[in-house]
Amino acid sequence: MAPDSTLVSEPFPISRVAGRYLLFDVDVMMHARRAYNICGVHIGTVPNLSQQNVFLGIPLELQPEEARVLVEQGHAYIVDDAEAHRNGFIHMSREERLSYVKAMDEQGLELTKETVKRAEERSDQVLRNKGLKGKGAKNDPSSASTVSDDKSDRADETLFDSAPVEPASARASAKKLDPTYVTPTTSYPPLKSPGDAEHILPNVPKSYPLFRYLHSRGYFTMPGLRFGCHYSVYPGDTLRFHSHYLATGMDWDEEFELLDVIGGGRLANRVKKAYLIGGEEKGTEQADDDGQVDGVTNIAPVRAFSIEWAGL
């Protein structure tokens, strides 16, 4: 079943773990992507079977710029994950702990039953393929006599085919089912969402004003390291569109080499994109009627320039 973003209540938590900003809830990931153009990068993998491609799972790591945009706009807040877990489990009552463990056991038992059921179905299919009836074949006299009369005709068969296979249901009923251990992907529950969390703004690089400007214009952004820039900029969802710009953010008074602009323009042209540079304009503020610039209060406007390499 597809995640339902309507189940997400705002502001939602962004976990800060070892200086990285992570989302663990699938519903929150889909909500951030659909509503706020936040893509992030999946980094989850199995420790003993690591992947070196983009087909990874949860958690979703956000760029500091993405996390800060969500916090500034009031859609999310930052939670120090280690501190939240330490305080949350210390103040958890015994009844809450037992209730949560019981819920996990019940969920694990359901998974075990489903696994046993699938195993029984596979075992029954094997028995039917061998000419047996599956469940109940052991108590069927005609089936037993048939097996007894045909022993001499099956002398060339393997040891495993020399006797009827005991149905999985009989083996499963003879022992008690142990619940499967379930590892939840989120901490809520058992921990309560820290509604009074401290308002923390992530530290961001100097390219953040350009990122905020592009985000306010409805663009999607992804890390642009492989193209030698800060961001790859998409006109829509990255699963549907190719990027249009390779963007680099700079300070307003920052000096840069002309060769960097030439190299960026030529590289962007080779991959059928435009090279874009921009920064926050210092000394001027142009606010709208609500006292905001680009939807955020008290920020200077950003100027951006696109460079397209054209042959003469």
Q: Confidence band (pLDDT; 50, 70, 90) for 181?
A: confident
Place of tokens 């958690």: 59
Q: Which of 102, 117, 151, 242 is catalytic?
A: 242
Over residues 204-214, the pLDDT tens digits come to: 999 999 999 99
Residue of 31, 215, 230, 273 marked catalytic:
273
Give yes or no: 234 in active site: yes
* 302's tokens: 């950003």
H/E element, 210: helix 208-216
Shared domain check, 133 and 161: yes
106 pLDDT more than 50: yes
Reported as a pLDDT band with limits 50, 70 and 90, residue 191 is low
Encoded tokens for 127: 């028995």
Quick: pLDDT tens for 239-270.
Answer: 899 999 999 999 888 888 888 888 888 888 88
141 and 290 within one domain: no
Number of helices (H) and strands (E) in the chain: give both, helices first: 8, 12
* Number of domains the chain is built from: 3
Q: Are residues 99 and 82 located together in one domain of the fold?
A: no
Q: Name which of 183, 233, 229 is nearest 213 in CA terms.
A: 233
**Residue 111 pLDDT exceeds 80:** yes
Kindly state whether residue 180 falls inside one of the protein's structural domains: no
**Catalytic one of 21, 208, 213, 234:** 234
Whether the CB-CB separation of 254 and 282 falls below 8 Å is answered with no
Beta bridge partners of 223: 231
Residue 217 and residue 200 share a domain: no
Q: Whole-angstrom Cα distance, residue 92 to residue 189?
A: 11
Tens of pLDDT, residue by residue over 42-92, are 888 876 776 666 678 889 999 999 999 999 998 999 988 888 777 777 777
> How far apart, in whole angstroms, are the C-alpha atoms of residue 205 and residue 186?
29
31 burial via Cβ count (<10 Å: 0-12, 13-18, 19+): buried
| Res. 291: pLDDT tops 60 | no
User: DSSP letters along 35-76, please?
Assistant: HH----EEEE-BTTB---SS--EEEEEEPHHHHHHHHHTTSE
Q: Specify whether 198 is located in the same domain as 58.
A: yes
Residues 65 and 102 in one domain: no
The answer to the question of residue 303 being in a domain is yes
pLDDT single digits (tens) 296-306: 545 678 999 88
Token pair 């951006």 is at which residue? 304
Which residues form the domain of 121? 94-173
